[in-house]
Structure 1
Amino acid sequence: MGQFFVETDGGRDRLEYTEYGTGDAWVVLLPGLLIPRRMHDNLARTLASAGAHVVTLDFLGHGRSDQPDDPMAYSVTQFAEQVVALLDHLGAAQAIIGGTSLGANVSLEVAVIAPDRVKGLLVEMPVLDNALEVAIVSFAPMLLAARIFPIGISAMRFITSRVPRGIVPWWVGIGLDTVEHRPGALAAYVHGLFFGRVAPPAAERRRIQAPALVVGHPRDPLHPASDAEMLASELPNATFEKATSMLEWRRSPERLDLLATKFVLDCWRPTRRPRRAAN
């Protein structure tokens, strides 16, 4: 585990990350909305065992990183800038940037603001045009609860923080970590994302040249497969893969892990120079 600091208008904030593996074949994995970085532990270990140097990051407001109460501290663009700051901190000239849900959107934003730093994109269930209404309906109550009924959020945090993570199933522990937020920070986080840029617009997405593997889920109202398919059609060098279910990469990850590993290795495989013709 490691940490680094970013300077913002509100001060200096600490972010935490975990490294797996070694070498220069960098991969950065980014979590979903409010979910801690350890959601990608298994995939990170799989990619590292294949030779990649993988880093999982807690954005500001996530997991063990700082959680300021300032809404201006949270946006997809600022999360993307944090990824670039992480690459600078690690001394990584380029990396494959990947993520789930919010992490997928941030990956796209990194490819827009720092295209020369992106070796490839590993994008799972992006939240784009077809998910807007469901996202608002899903997360507006969270913002209202944090603003109007903060004692309820504090009570939930008090209860979940006292559950030992070692005695519950792994995904239950991640769920407990996800809801363990102070009401002020939670309200600021959701407010910042609601009123900021959610993802690069289509015109900018079409200019992303990095190779991409885009994974979509069927029957997922918040992350419709139509968004993932649309994104794959927009990106000039993208491949679309449809998961068998919303939970395939969580419960039976072998197939998608294999696809992701092949994609990562292909991105980092040295380009062969054409042989000079014999005289």
Structure 2
Amino acid sequence: MTGIAATAAPHQRPVERAGSFQVDGQTLRYTEFGSGPRVVVLTHGQLMTRTMHAPLARSLAATGFRVLTLDLLGHGGSDRPTESWRYSMTTWATQVVALLDHLGVERAVIGGTSLGANVTLEVAVAAPDRAVGLVVEMPVLDNAIVAGLLAFAPLLFTARFVPHAVRGLAALARRVPRGRQWVDTVTETLSQEPAAMAAVVHGIFFGRIAPPTTLRTAIQVPALVIGHQRDPIHPFGDAHMLAGELPRAEFVEASSPVELRFSPARLTATIVRFLDERFAAAGIAG
């Protein structure tokens, strides 16, 4: 593997390895949790990093899955080019497939949250033969467009016209001591580079947010869709609508936007059950 650095994890945790690979001349970084043939790929939300999925990845790895968390281009430890044309849901989907190719994985369950949920749908459209199943948490579809514009347009304006504010916040974030899960996730999210951040947001706004309904209704890969109330950027209606559109979908309502982050037992058990079923149906034994 390119750039692999094995991490000595505590005995109660599965082995974790950090690695990197290249796509179109850009370096992408990932972490691998656990081992075995039952592979799960998890991708993060907009402007966040792969560390947001570390707790879930460890839980799944402890149950016998091999979990890969990926920093998509423009995020976390991956390269952050400043050209907006490099960023789109479809391009990020090709990076997920490239990670599977890099590691010699034929098929995996593909999952993600928010931006990662939309990328997951794009993988199902572009490379359905590589997906054993989909885990789609908080997709951003038709009902989220206005709230998304209101939330992220100021970020684009700030990154373009007040870059010193972004750099100042990043400098403060880098001074925060590391070592706690959500402190690390927040500080990494705040550690932005203005030009790259603007390019990412610009690429999302002016590209395809998600596969259109005509393509979503044709996705035959079994999916677990997770939605919740009280979040305008990730409306319950989008998740519920998606579950109705996908021919082979199961819908689960989370109690809040942070249930899987701070009270994960119920949803993690549901995800594990879904993964067991999908790999068993695909004939991939643990």
Q: Same fold (TM over 0.5)?
A: yes
TM-score tier (shorter):
over 0.9
**2:132–2:282 contact (8 Å) kept in structure 1:** no
Q: What is the aligned partner in structure 1 of residue 38 from structure 2?
A: 25
1:185 is matched with 196
2:123 paired residue number: 110
Name the amino acid aligned to 2:132: K
Deviation string 1:160-186 (CA, Å, 9 cap, x unpaired) is 1121212xx421321111011111111
Question: 2:226 aligns to what SS in structure 1?
Answer: strand
CA RMSD in angstroms, aligned pairs only = 1.0
Where 2:109 maps in the other structure, the secondary structure is strand
- How big is the shift at 1:24? 1.1
My pick for the range that moved more, 192-201 or 172-181, is: 172-181
**Does the alignment pair 1:147 with 2:152?**
no
Structure 2 match to 1:275: none
- For residues 170-209 of structure 1, the aligned pairs below 5 Å read 170-209=181-220
Cα shift at 1:158: 1.3
Equivalent position of 2:237 in the other structure: 226
Name the structure 1 match of 2:258: 247
Q: Which amino acid aligns with 2:250?
A: T
Q: For the residues of structure 1 that align with 2:127 and 2:85, how far apart are their CA atoms?
A: 21
Return the alpha-carbon distance in structure 2 between the equivalents of residues 172 and 144 of structure 1. Answer: 26
What secondary structure does 1:68 align onto? coil
Q: Which runs of 5+ in 1 are unaligned?
A: 273-279
**Residue 93, structure 1, aligned to residue 110, structure 2:** no
> Where do 4+ consecutive residues of structure 1 move more than 2 Å?
none
Q: CA–CA distance in 2 between the matches of 1:192 and 1:38?
A: 23
AA aligned to 1:138 is: A
**Residue equivalent to 1:276:** none
Cα shift readout 1:249-277 (whole Å, capped 9, x = no counterpart) = 111100000000010111001568xxxxx
1:80-131 CA-to-partner distances (Å, cap 9, x unmatched) read 0100110100111111000000000000000000111011000101000000
CA distance in 2, matches of 1:45, 1:172: 18
Q: Percent identity?
A: 53
Rounded Cα–Cα distance in structure 2 between residues aligned with 1:77 and 1:264: 25
In the aligned structure 1, how far is the partner of 2:282 from the partner of 2:181?
39
> Which residue number in structure 2 is paired with residue 16 of structure 1?
29
Superposition deviation, residue 30 in structure 1: 0.5
**Which amino acid in structure 1 is aligned with residue 21 of structure 2?**
F
Aligned residues: 266
Per the alignment, do residues 271 and 126 of structure 1 end up closer, same or farther by CA in structure 2, a change over 3 Å counting? closer
Larger Rg: 1
Q: Deviations over 1:62-85 (max 9, x none)?
A: 111111111011110110010011
Tell me which of 154, 163, 171 is aligned to 1:158.
Answer: 171
- Kindly provide the amino acid, as one letter, of the partner of residue 47 in structure 1: L
TM-score w.r.t. structure 1 length? Answer: 0.93
